[in-house]
Amino acid sequence: MVDAKNADLGQSHDANTFPALIALHERARGARPAIREKDLGIWQTLTWADVAQQVRTLAHGLAHLGIAPGMHVAVVGENRPRLYMAMMATQMLGAIPVPLYQDAVAQEMVYVLQDAEITVAVVEDQEQVDKMLEVRAQCPALQHVVYDDPRGLRHYADPMLLAYTDLLEQGRTHHAAHPEHVTAAAAAVRPDDTAAMFYTSGTTGKPKGVVLTHHALIDRARAVAEMERLTDREDVLAYLPPAWIGQNMFSYTQLLVSGFTVNHPESPDTVALDMRDIGPTYYFAPPRVLEGLLTQVMIRMEDASRLKRALFHRAMALARRVGTRILDGESVSALDRLRYGLGNLMIYGPLRNALGMSRVRVAYTAGEAIGPDLFVFYRSIGINLKQLYGSTETSVFVCVQPDGHVRADTVGPPVSGVQIRISDNGEILVKSPGLFKTYYRNPEATAETLTEDGWFKTGDAGYLDPDGQLKIIDRAKDVGKLAGGELFAPKYIENKLKFFPFIKEAVVFGAGRDEVCAFINIDLEAVGNWAERRGMPYAGYTDLAAKEPVYELIADCVQQVNADLAQDPKLHASQVHRFLILHKELDPDDDELTRTRKVRRGFIATKYAVLIEALFDARPSQFIETEVKFEDGRVGSISADVRIEPARTHAPQLAKAA
């Protein structure tokens, strides 16, 4: 009951700026925990009253350092309560916090520091201080560097440095001198003032400062808070870089909107432990994190006794069968419910506990395409994991999957207040109260992405499927058309292929052709194990790649993907008709992949032109000799007679995707 009441207070709509929200929580739930940090072995707690109090003092301090409305303050570091409060203090003065990635090297920071005319930077520790000192010459505007953790800074005599505690001290004196200064500044903040600025590292060119208003951020946070019925009793673990809008939305904006508690881990290498401790109720993780956790689980289970493993796998099989349906509240036979209950007692429950997810009520994943198996694993053991879609420019929330309508291949319907339109070239356009105001001092870029009538070009290609859920296909610029004019989204197909553990890389071709063909790189480890279990000897990648059984293995994967595509209203034409397994692994050293392992389509297309022709001419095989660079820089060449295999395709069936 109490929760509900507080919750209402927390959501009460009169507070539309961050300073107002802080004041609200101080009144409504001053004694409730706002920020916890595991420090000195226990969870040190700051109540909303403490936070409000300290933030005001800090604001006075910043004012003393000359921070005025409209100015920018850089915040650099891991998740640390003091850095969060620095952001609040900045906003309280009507100034704008600019979080920077703590792992960026000094020179990467220079541009931002200059572009935003940073005069004061609040940083975590010696590491960040050193960076600031390194770039000070290039950033003359930078006058003060405030540091949280004094360790190792004892002998730094530089006058520009200032300890956080000293800043608070100055804040007190300033407060004594101008008692009203901060309250006045806070009262002057308007909802459509800029609240924060996040720099997005554009794939090309300089990073762009995304300007977001109080209204934009708060409105989106509220929409989701209402949709998910978030109360002030939620616990959130802040473990991703705060400079990333995702983490910032979850552990900062929503914190201030819903008035729940954000928990800061003791150190990066204790996150898992601290997660177990806290057991967040509201959780967010990009697919790679979830992937990592799942691998952990599987590895640890490997050492378990045979009996335990058997039990585990049986339970998991059951979960895959009925788990998600139970979670979605669909009808499941009483017997299965019973068995699932048993499994829950024996396996799922303990597993959630081990992962620190026993208490998770709502969990989101976003950022990249998530493999269906991965996604289903978490849902099947009773963790309400859902996908969402959004970006920095949209204050994150564009689409969120509502409970009960969760699917692996969509990102859900638009959140209330959001409109979505698909441009004729298949790009997703968004209009939402959460949209950014502009790119900071970058009108061209702004003009490119914001239409006059206020639509934001996401740069993603996709479509709304029959039941109104948004389906992301690919980056818009990669989407092409087949000769027949049907949509062709290589990345989408490649991802589908790569979800199979046996397939490491895939490159599909089809733009301007009348059918689709694919290069496959097998995963040497996975397929290698598979081969060994079959007692199939092989000498290295090239040999294994050419084996008949391996081709059958892959062919099966491909036809599964085709079956999938066949059901897709827009992409059924993109089924893979023929594929080949490359005789060598695609390799950054050979410029076939970027350092971040993205395929360089163009380069590959020219390098392996012969193979592509062979594919589309449906030849049985094709000889090729390719140059390769070895680790030691020597150059050699691999030659092989690459087999080309037709893949089974399916007649398009425009049933609803399942």
Which residues contact other proteins (rule: CB under 8 A)?
36, 38-45, 151-152, 154-157, 235, 266-267, 269-270, 273, 276-279, 297, 300-301, 303-305, 308, 311-312, 345-347, 349-354, 356-359
Q: CA 304, CA 598: separation in Å to the nearest integer?
A: 37
Structure-block tokens of residue 534 = 């079959």
CB of 384 vs other proteins, minimal distance in Å: 15
C-beta of 16 vs 45, nearer to other proteins = 45
Q: How far apart are CA 234 and CA 317, in angstroms?
A: 32
Q: H or E segment at 522?
A: strand 516-522
Three-class SS of residue 642? strand
Q: What number of H helices and E strands is found in the chain?
A: 25, 27
CB-nearer residue toward other proteins: 45 or 559: 45
Whole-number Å distance between alpha carbons of 557 and 522: 11
Report the nearest approach of other proteins to the CB of residue 267 (Å): 6
Distance (Å, whole) CA 630 – CA 587: 10
Rounded to the nearest angstrom, the gap between the alpha carbon of residue 638 and the centroid of all alpha carbons in its chain is 39
b/e sequence 404-415, b meaning 16+ C-beta within 10 Å? eebbbbbbbbbb
Residues 210, 248 contacting (CB under 8 angstroms): no
Beta pairing class for 456-464 and 427-431? antiparallel
Q: Which is nearer to other proteins, 152 or 404 (CB)?
A: 152
Whole-number Å distance between alpha carbons of 70 and 570: 47
Nearer to other proteins, 36 or 379 (CB): 36
| Closest distance of CB 344 from other proteins, Å | 12
Residue 380 C-beta: closest distance to other proteins, Å: 15
Report the nearest approach of other proteins to the CB of residue 263 (Å).
Answer: 8
DSSP 140-160: TT--EEEES--TT-TT---TT
Question: C-beta of 133: minimal distance to other proteins in Å?
Answer: 12
**Rounded Cα gap, residues 337 and 228, in angstroms:** 26
Compare residues 235 and 592 and give the one whose CB is closer to other proteins. Answer: 235
What is the distance between the alpha carbons of residues 77 and 624, in angstroms, rounded to a whole number?
51
Distance, in Å, from the CA atom of 257 to the CA atom of 412, rounded to the nearest integer, reads 23
Q: How far is the CB of 102 from other proteins (least distance, A)?
A: 17
Q: Name the residue nearer to other proteins (CB basis): 7 or 315.
A: 315
Taking the complex as a whole, the smallest distance from the CB of residue 262 to other proteins amounts, in Å, to 13
- Do the beta carbons of residue 327 and residue 362 sit within 8 Å? no
- Local structure of residue 1 (DSSP, 8 states): -
**Closest CB to other proteins among 77 and 412?**
77
Dist CA 101 CA 104 (whole Å): 6
Residue 107 or residue 296: which is nearer to other proteins going by CB?
296
* Closest CB 418 distance from other proteins, rounded Å: 33
Shortest distance (Å) from residue 350 CB to other proteins: 5
Q: In the bound complex, what is the minimum distance in angstroms from residue 277's beta carbon to other proteins? A: 4
Closer CB to other proteins, 299 or 651, in the complex: 299
Distance CA 608, CA 588 (A): 16
Exposure string over 469-498, b if 16+ CB within 10 A, otherwise e: bbbbbbbbebbeebeeeebbbbbbbbbbbb
Q: Which of 206, 197, 196, 198 is nearest to 111 (CA)?
A: 206
Query: Which is closer to other proteins, CB of 198 or CB of 348?
Result: 348
Shortest distance (Å) from residue 265 CB to other proteins = 10
- Dist CA 74 CA 209 (whole Å): 12
Q: Which of 415, 292, 403, 287 is nearest to 355 (CA)?
A: 292
- Cβ-based nearer residue to other proteins, 354 or 464: 354
**Which of 351/420 has CB closer to other proteins?**
351
CB 481 within 8 A of CB 488: yes
Distance of CA 18 to the CA centre of its chain: 24
Q: For residues 161 and 599, which CB has a smaller minimum distance to other proteins in the complex?
A: 161
Closest separation in Å from C-beta 147 to other proteins: 15
Nearer to other proteins, 320 or 619 (CB): 320
Q: Which is nearer to other proteins, 320 or 650 (CB)?
A: 320
Q: Least distance in Å: CB of 119 to other proteins?
A: 25
Residue 33 CB, shortest distance to other proteins, in Å, is 8
End-to-end CA distance of the chain: 39
Q: Retrieve residue 381's tokens.
A: 């053991």
Q: Where are the beta strands (DSSP E) in 136-285?
A: 144-147, 161-163, 194-200, 208-213, 235-237, 261-264, 282-284
